[in-house]
Amino acid sequence: MADVVILGAGISGHTAALHLSRLLGRRGLGKKHTVTVVSPNSRWNWIPSNIWVGVGKLDKEDVVFPLQPVYDRKGIVFRQAKAVAIRPDGDIDDHRGAVDIEYTGQGKAGTPGQLRYDYLINATGPRLRFEATPGLGPDGHTVSVCTADHALEAAARLREVIKRLASGEEQTLVVGMGHGTCTCEGAAFEYVFNVDHELREAGVRDRARLVYLTNEAHLGDFGVDGMTFEQQGFQTSSELWTGSLFRERGVEAILGAHVEQVEEGLVRYETLDGLKHTLAFDFAMILPPFGGVPLAAYDREGIDITARLFAPSGFMKVDADYTAKPYEQWRAADWPSTYLAPGYDNVFAVGIAFAPPHQISRPQKSTNGTVIAPSPPRTGMPSGVMGKTAALTIVDRIKHGADAPAHQASMASMGAACVASAGHGLRSGSAAAMTMMPVVPDYVRYPSGRDLKDTRGEIGLSGHWVKLMLHYLFIYKAKGHPGWQLIPE
Amino acid sequence: MTTTDPGIPVPGTTVSDQPTADLSGAPLPTAATLRRRRSVPFQLTRFAVFNTRIMRMVTKGAH
């Protein structure tokens, strides 16, 4: 009998829960094990499609669904609660690990509780750190597409801007990253081109100034140090390829920017040359930096060991090489492969929750010393793979003993597809569809850092179809409908 | 803060110009490329190719 607890029901946590349920058997007669998911949210959100909610092409209900019915079918216990502390060594009452939780729903909001575990997966995802930049976010002066509700608000504000443009006013729209250390540049890239598409459809593009404000030092960096593609017998960079799209669509790009503050209709930012700028706007969708969801950790005696388990960013340390070293000495082997927390063979951190060893893109500082360095993306496809990897290790250890070898899936050996929508529409849509292999460049194995056979990029209508197909496929999979496990992460 | 040379602002100075990236060197797609990007028969082929590539990557990677 083993109890598995998963913190978080995003892509990685939910994927892990479904695989554990499948492989350990559902609740009922003869069931020996429990799988419990702890999430403060009662609904699952296919976040990549929030972009389309944010331009009014989809409704919120198209991208979310309630978790409880799925978990009821799969024999997974659901606790609508937030984890507040973990006790990996147990406490004086019980040597088994425990998680302290506080309910956020199920009629028990605010009530504390505790769950014992034999295996723990921390898949808590990001904390949206809007507060890192004064004035940023829905409580400040900008909108966001980080959640389905945020995206609904963004769509409403965009509609207002389009009305003003239609009445003959000129408007400036800014889309981008709200801090020098943000990640998810791909989401801002998608949103800016979806906004461009909407403005063109509404016939008002000529009166709109559209600005992409990013912490990337180069276009096409995407927080993964850019990519090299082989096209028509030549090697080309994602910088040139992306720049072509910006030029074609008339989207201005401001690079290497750290947003310092947002005021009503005004963003203040610093660039790598140390100069400070102000940019007036009528509409701004600017993403926040991410931090780890705050969790305390205590040892058996109740002594605080948070700093031992978590990086200062709040992300959980795993089997990565966290030795501080310059960019030139970064190696693929620095990246974790089992996602086990050091010192524990039953605690994992996957998806955004694990602390990366360093950035992927070359980190930069402005001449004033301000860090302007995109954080590594750990969402989407890699996130699901990590969740499944942790689940497979747990299943092996439950079935074959605690010393069964851990499954491995390093971001330096796995590939990812990134389909960046550039407009919605079955005949008029388009997307920049990219594959990269591996996600973290490995300059020892490949001169360009990646396998050029599997690192490709193309723009066109088919990319939109792929993104739309993934939307339906992944929601189908997340609902655990028949055959869900055949759909790759 | 003021600058010693009016043409070159020093770090820390707030300037009104936007440091927009110069994209004049980025290649513009030709009319034929734009047509191909929207051509349904051609894009159906690309759709199949891209999905094949994803599946190859999934089977090749540490999944």
DSSP secondary-structure letter at A1?
-
Cβ of A43: how many Cβ atoms within 10 Å?
A: 15
Residues in chain B whose beta carbon is closer than 8 A to a beta carbon of chain A? 9-21, 23-29, 36-40, 43-44, 46-47, 50-51, 53-58, 60-63
Residue A200's contacts (CB-CB under 8 Å, 6 or more residues apart) are none
Tens-of-pLDDT digits for all 489 residues of chain A? 899 999 999 999 999 999 999 999 865 445 789 999 999 999 999 999 999 999 999 999 999 999 999 999 999 999 999 999 999 999 999 999 999 999 999 999 999 999 999 999 999 999 999 999 999 999 999 999 999 999 999 999 999 999 999 999 999 999 999 999 999 899 999 999 999 999 999 999 999 999 999 999 999 999 999 999 988 888 999 999 999 999 999 999 999 999 999 999 999 999 999 999 999 999 999 999 999 999 999 999 999 999 999 999 999 999 999 999 999 999 999 999 999 999 999 999 999 999 999 999 999 999 999 999 999 998 888 999 999 999 999 999 999 999 999 999 999 999 988 898 999 899 999 999 999 999 999 999 999 999 999 999 999 999 999 999 999 999 999 999 999 999 998
Residue B58's pLDDT band, with cuts at 50, 70 and 90, is confident
Q: Cβ of B50 and A462 within 8 Å?
A: yes
Domain residue ranges in chain A: 3-128+290-367+375-400
Q: Report how many Cβ contacts below 8 Å link chain A to chain B.
A: 135
Q: Looking at residue B2, what is its pLDDT?
A: 38
Task: For the beta carbon of residue B41, count every other beta carbon within 10 angstroms.
Answer: 6
Three-point CA angle A338, A344, A348, nearest 5°: 45
Residue A307: CB atoms within 10 A of its CB come to 10
A474 C-beta neighbours (distance < 10 Å), count: 21
pLDDT at B57: 83
- Residue A183 backbone phi and psi in degrees, to 5: -125, -175
What does the pLDDT read at residue A380?
A: 82
Write phi, then psi, for A383 (nearest 5 degrees): -60, -45
For residue A85, is it left (φ>0), alpha (ψ between -120 and 50) or beta?
Answer: beta
Residues of chain A with C-beta less than 8 angstroms from the C-beta of B63? 385, 388, 409, 414, 488-489
Q: Cα–Cα distance between A17 and A9 in angstroms, integer?
A: 8
Q: Tell me if A424 sits within 8 A of A458, measured CB to CB.
A: no
Residues in chain B: 63
Tell me, what's the pLDDT at A29? 46
Residues 6+ apart with CB under 8 A from A387: A11, A12, A13, A14, A15, A16, A19, A121, A123, A350, A351, A489
Residue B56's pLDDT is: 86
B3: tokens are 């600058």
Q: Do B57 and A276 touch (CB under 8 A)?
A: no
| Residue-wise DSSP of A215-251 | S-SSTT-TTTT--EEEETTEEEEHHHHHHHHHHHHT-
Kindly report the backbone phi and psi dihedral angles of residue A337, in degrees, each rounded to the nearest multiple of 5, phi listed first: -125, -30
Residue B8 has a pLDDT of 59
- Length of chain A counted residue by residue: 489
Can you tell me the distance from the alpha carbon of A208 to that of A387, in angstroms, rounded to the nearest whole number?
42
- Give chain A's radius of gyration (CA, Å): 22
Q: Which residues of A199-232 are buried (b: 16+ CB within 10 A; e: fewer)?
A: bbebebbeebbbbbbbbbbbbbbbbbbbbbbeee
Torsion angles phi and psi, residue A345, rounded to 5: -100, 15
Distance CA A251, CA A432 (A): 15
pLDDT of residue A378: 87
Query: What DSSP string runs through A40-89?
Result: S-SEEE-GGGHHHHTTTSS-GGGTEEEHHHHHHHHT-EEEEEEEEEEETT
Q: What is the ipTM of this complex?
A: 0.86
- What is the rounded distance in angstroms from the CA atom of residue A102 to the CA atom of residue A438? 39
Entry pTM: 0.93
A71 contact partners, CB below 8 Å, separation of at least 6: A17, A37, A77, A78
What pLDDT is stored for residue B3 in this prediction?
41
Cβ-Cβ contacts under 8 Å for A179 (sequence gap 6 or more): A129, A132, A133, A136, A215, A258, A259, A288, A289
Indicate the pLDDT class of residue B12, thresholds 50, 70 and 90.
low
Q: Please name the member of A219, A255, A415 whose beta carbon is closest to the beta carbon of B57.
A: A415
In A, minimum Cα distance to B12 occurs at A275
Segment holding A459, helix H or strand E: strand A456-460
Q: Report how far residue A430's alpha carbon sits from residue A461's, in angstroms, rounded to the nearest whole number.
A: 4
> Which member of B23, B56, B61 has the closest CB to residue A243?
B23
Asked whether residue B5 carries a pLDDT value surpassing 60, the answer given is no
Q: If you measure CA to CA, which chain A residue comes closest to B54?
A: A417
* Pairing, β A97-103 against β A43-45: unpaired
What would you report as the CA-atom Rg of chain B, rounded to the nearest whole angstrom? 24
| Topology of domain A3-128+290-367+375-400, CATH | FAD/NAD(P)-binding domain (3.50.50)
Q: Please report the DSSP string for chain B in residue order.
A: ---SBTTBPPTT-EESS--B---TTSPPPPHHHHHHHH-HHHHHHHHHHHHHHHHHHHHHTT-
CA distance A411 to A378: 9
Minimal C-alpha gap between A277 and chain B (Å): 5
**A463 in B contact zone (CB under 8 Å):** yes
Compute CA distances A303 → A98, A293, A299, A383, whole Å.
14, 20, 5, 32
Gap between the Cα atoms of A130 and A136, Å rounded: 6
Q: What is the pLDDT of residue B10?
A: 64
